Amino acid sequence: MSSSTASPASTTGSGPIPGQRSAAGPVALTSRAPHVPADRLVAEMVPPPRFDSVRFDNYIPDPNQPSQADAVRMLDGFAAGLDGATGGSRKRWFRRETKPAVPAGPRGVYLDGGYGVGKTHLLASLWHATPAAPEQKAFGTFVELTNLVGALGFQKTVQTLSGHRLLCIDEFELDDPGDTVLVSTLLGKLVEAGVALAATSNTLPGKLGEGRFAAADFLREIQGLSAHFRPLRIDGEDYRHRGLPQAPPPYDDATVRRVAQTADGASLDAFPGLLDHLSKVHPSRYGAMCDGIRAVCLTGVEPIPDQSTALRLVVLADRLYDREVPVLASGRPFDELFSEEMLAGGYRKKYFRAISRLTALARDAKPLAQG
């Protein structure tokens, strides 16, 4: 099952079919405010298209970072340990004489490491390697998980996910006390139901929430979350920039508009208008807002004015990166989006991730500008 099989979200207005250009010009993301049914949110809890084909055996460990190869072995063993019926007889990457036993203790594994070391690749590989039907395992970002609770309600979410063998949570971060209590309670219920957990983040489980709110006031919940996981550290540098040329500098407005008019499935928006539009669309709908879009063209990129706007842009950047949508822009370069104060604050890891991913997408857009 893949996200492409889910029923499409409806959009407001009478604009062009997603991904196509009308006679008047390219699609504008600001014209889209999709409604996403709750059943689509559940059906799309699978690895995003970018990670459809990832597996343990096509993850390329950095030979200078032994923790990466160790992570592959450990996660393959974790997946095999979820095969209660057969004990696992699959061909395994880095196989040795015997499959390493899954240690007793927490029923979850937590991949901690910097940006671009392949944590999401490994998490998606774990989802693919787990011997269960697609409907028995779920994959989503932390934001998508909290959005699911908002759409279904807490009890219905527990009921829906309790039948799963594995829940994978990408980019696990706690941004406010309400999320801390919500997710702590949810995961506790799922562990009781026998669901295995796997998560990625740039923050060790016991440090979740630091710098964002009065973490000491919610220490019990945070420690409860940490107890569900055993950390697995993955060292290394950002593979998106490893040995690759730097992202191209911003283009001029004329180039961006030309590409938007000629590239199939391109969108065209003024950056300030897009930021304003994001405030009117729930983040759970940003993925549907990008349905059919093959390239995003932005004019007038400028620094983000406030933290709420910045966090919404982070979610959009994640959805574009998941879908491998190139981003061609004019204005300021992406590494100037966030102020020094933002990059030094509690959400800095999200902002650095967004810069890393937007830079990769800008590099992907370079052939469009040269065409």
d(CA 356, CA 371): 25
Task: Identify whether 52 is part of a domain.
Answer: no
Residues 173 and 273 in one domain: no
Shared domain for 93 and 168, answered yes or no, is: yes
The dihedrals phi and psi of 139, each to the nearest 5 degrees, come to -140, 125
Same domain, 150 and 262: no
Identity (one letter) of the amino acid at 211? G
User: Do 275 and 362 sit in the same domain of this protein?
Assistant: yes
Q: Of 236, 271, 294, which residue sits at a domain end?
A: 236
- Whether residue 5 lies inside any domain: the answer is no
Is residue 41 one of the residues assigned to a domain? no
Q: Are residues 277 and 227 in the same domain?
A: no
**pLDDT band, very low/low/confident/very high, at 130 (cuts 50, 70, 90):** very high
Query: Could you tell me if 202 and 175 are in contact, meaning their C-beta atoms sit under 8 angstroms apart?
Result: no
The answer as to whether 45 is a domain residue is no
* pLDDT tens-digit map of 106-115: 678 988 887 7
Number of domains into which the chain is organized: 2
Which of 202, 236, 270 is the endpoint of a domain? 236
Average pLDDT over residues 226-252: 75
Do 273 and 318 lie in one domain? The reply is yes
Q: Within its chain, how far is the Cα of 67 from the centroid?
A: 22
* 257, 291: one domain: yes
Q: Could you give the percent of the chain with pLDDT greater than 70?
A: 77
* Residue 44 maps to a domain: no
Q: What is the identity of the amino acid at 182? A: L
- Confidence at residue 248, expressed as pLDDT on a 0 to 100 scale: 77
Top pLDDT among 226 and 23 is at 226
Question: CA angle at residue 302 from 368 to 170, to 5 degrees?
Answer: 75
pLDDT score, position 49? 86
> Would you tell me how many other CB atoms lie within 10 Å of the CB of residue 178?
12
In this structure, of 160-174, 227-241, 338-352, the range with the lowest mean pLDDT score is 227-241
The arithmetic mean of pLDDT across residues 113-133, rounded, is 90
Return the top range by mean pLDDT from 75-84, 297-306, 354-363: 297-306
Instruction: Please state which of the ranges 122-136, 231-245, 285-299 shows the lowest mean pLDDT.
Output: 231-245
SS (H, E, C) the chain: CCHHHCCCCECCCCCCCCCCCECCECECHHHCCCECCHHHHHHCCCCCHHHCCCCHHHCCCCCCCHHHHHHHHHHHHHHHHCCCCCCCCCCCCCCCCCCCCCCCCCCEEEEEECCCCCHHHHHHHHHHHCCCCHHHEEEEEHHHHHHHHHHHCHHHHHHHHCCCCEEEEECCCCCCHHHHHHHHHHHHHHHHCCCEEEEEECCCHHHCCCCCCCHHHHHHHHHHHHHCCEEEEECCCCHHHCCCCCCCCCECHHHHHHHHHHCCCEEEEEHHHHHHHHCCCCHHHHHHHCCCCCEEEEEEECCCCCHHHHHHHHHHHHHHHHCCCCEEEEECCHHHCCCHHHHCCCCHHHHHHHHHHHHHHHHHCHHHHHC
136 and 251, same domain (yes or no): no
Cβ atoms < 10 Å from Cβ of 154? 13
Residues 146 and 231 in one domain: yes
What is the band of 220 on the pLDDT scale with cuts at 50, 70, 90? low
Work out the burial of residue 184: count CB atoms within 10 Å of its CB; fewer than 13 is exposed, 13-18 middle, 19 or more buried. Answer: buried
Residue 259 included in any domain: yes
254 in the same domain as 163: no
The pLDDT, as a whole number, for residue 89 is 34
pLDDT digits (tens, 9 = 90+) for 154-198: 999 999 999 899 999 998 876 666 777 888 889 999 999 999 999
CA distances for 181 relative to 110, 144, 188, 255, angstroms = 19, 16, 11, 48
Give the domain range for residue 18: 10-35+244-370
**CATH code of 99's domain:** 3.40.50.300
Mean predicted confidence (pLDDT) in 12-38:
66
Domain co-membership, 202 together with 98: yes
Q: Does 310 reside within a domain? A: yes
Residue environment code for 18-42, b if the CB has 16+ CB neighbours within 10 A, otherwise e = beebeeeebbbbbbbbbebebebbb
Domain boundary pick from 236, 262, 287? 236
Same-domain pairing of 278 and 300:
yes
Position 342 confidence tier, pLDDT thresholds 50, 70, 90: very high
- Output the pLDDT for position 140: 92
- The answer to whether residue 169 sits within a structural domain is yes
What is the arithmetic mean of pLDDT over 313-339? 94
The predicted structure's pLDDT at residue 22: 43
- C-alpha distance across the termini of the chain, in Å: 35
